[in-house]
Amino acid sequence: MILKASLKYLLFLALFAAPLLSVAAGPPTATCSQANDECIEIGLWQVSLAVGGGVLTNPLQGGENIPLVLVPYISYYNEQFFLENTTLGYTFQETEYFDISAIIELNSEQKYFNRLHAGNLIGVDGALSEGGDVQTPTEPSSGGEDIFPETDKPVEPKRLPTLDDIAKRDWAIDAGVLAHWYLGKQHKITAQWSHDVSGVYKGQHIKASYKYQLPVFDWPARLQLSAGLDWQSAELVDYYYGLNSKDNVEQAYFYQGEQGVSPFFGAAFNYRINKQWQFKFSAKRTFLSSAITDSPLVNDKHQDYLFIGGLYEF
């Protein structure tokens, strides 16, 4: 049982955390050469394992943060088809400065709702926020009969909805289009449109990002800064963060989600120690849209990712 749970945990991390550890994502460019440390060779499987310490915070009431200790990563590319962790794609146009692919992948929104207690498997206390906040009751009136009971009587403390109170949020499969623009060796623009093809939330989302890679003296190192926006449709927000009669919550907490935009920024630093090992530092903060944070189910206004450790390439 422990081994099975551990394997499930590693798969869970591979689905959601490993893409954040990758400095270069997407199909290789036409100018890929052996001198390029980011090059992904055609026809070869690439498997690596990040070992270190980190956390993926959970903004939901009662949600446990996810400790990052062992993070697997896998990729494979041929001339047109590629696999990047849980993203399967087909590149149908590629030039030196631009590529566009059709992709299918797991939607990552469900990661917050997974009831796997990761901290019990790895031995890291992942709980940071406490769910079930209570509202402060009003002071009771002193003596006598209440003339206005609706205002003078104490209000019973109400516990905010937590993950234990809501109906299950299912995994979803998205399909869409992924495009990259390469502006020299240091600038990269990414745009992605995805739509639910599994019929789970029946919505869509669009992500756009810009990455700038800075040279670090003459070291075998890379420093990359990134920023972007993630637009989520009302259907997506409502399915995952909305509250209604299917959830075991009071009607006063019912919430219908709307479309929203969540900006994010991040940084990644890689230092190659030898052929197999790299030192890695990655950090990312996402500012959740008001459409998400207005939900009584959400406790924080942002979500953070942080990892520091080593990456071993097999």
What does each of the 314 residues of the chain score in pLDDT, given as a tens digit?
A: 444 444 444 445 545 444 444 444 444 444 454 444 555 677 788 889 999 999 999 999 988 898 888 888 889 998 889 999 889 999 999 988 999 999 999 999 988 887 553 333 333 333 333 333 333 333 444 444 444 455 454 454 467 888 888 999 999 999 999 999 999 889 999 999 999 999 999 999 999 999 999 876 667 888 999 999 999 999 999 999 999 999 999 999 999 999 999 999 999 999 999 989 999 999 999 999 999 999 999 999 999 999 999 999 98
Dihedral of the alpha carbons of 94, 97, 101, 104, in degrees to the nearest 10: 140
pLDDT at 44: 81
Total-model pTM: 0.76
Write out the two tokens for 11. 């798969």
Angle at 87 between CA 85 and CA 88, to 5 degrees: 115
The candidate with the shortest Cα–Cα distance to 240, out of 281, 287, 202, is 202
Return d(Cα 59, Cα 56) in angstroms, integer.
10
pLDDT at 104: 97
Return d(Cα 259, Cα 286) in angstroms, integer.
16
pLDDT at 38: 55
Q: Which CATH superfamily is domain 2-131+161-313 in?
A: monomeric porin ompg (2.40.160.40)
Give the long-range contacts of residues 76-80, CB within 8 A, separation 24 or more. Answer: 76/44, 76/45, 76/46, 77/27, 77/28, 77/40, 77/41, 77/42, 77/43, 78/42, 78/43, 79/42
Return d(Cα 146, Cα 153) in angstroms, integer.
7
Burial status of residue 211 (CB atoms within 10 A of its CB: 0-12, 13-18, 19 or more): buried
8 Å CB contact between 169 and 198? no
pLDDT at 116: 53
Return d(Cα 196, Cα 186) in angstroms, integer.
33
Give the long-range contacts of residues 88-96, CB within 8 A, separation 24 or more. Answer: 89/27, 89/178, 91/27, 94/27, 94/29, 94/30, 95/30, 96/29, 96/30, 96/31, 96/182
Return d(Cα 43, Cα 312) in angstroms, integer.
20
Phi, then psi, of 221 in degrees rounded to 5? -140, 160
Specify the amino acid at residue 11: L
8 Å CB contact between 109 and 93? no
pLDDT at 217: 67
The position carrying tokens 């990414």 is 190
- Quote helix, strand, coil % in the chain, to nearest 5: 15, 40, 45
Burial status of residue 88 (CB atoms within 10 A of its CB: 0-12, 13-18, 19 or more): middle
pLDDT at 113: 87
pLDDT at 281: 96
pLDDT at 269: 94
| Domain regions of the chain by residue span | 2-131+161-313
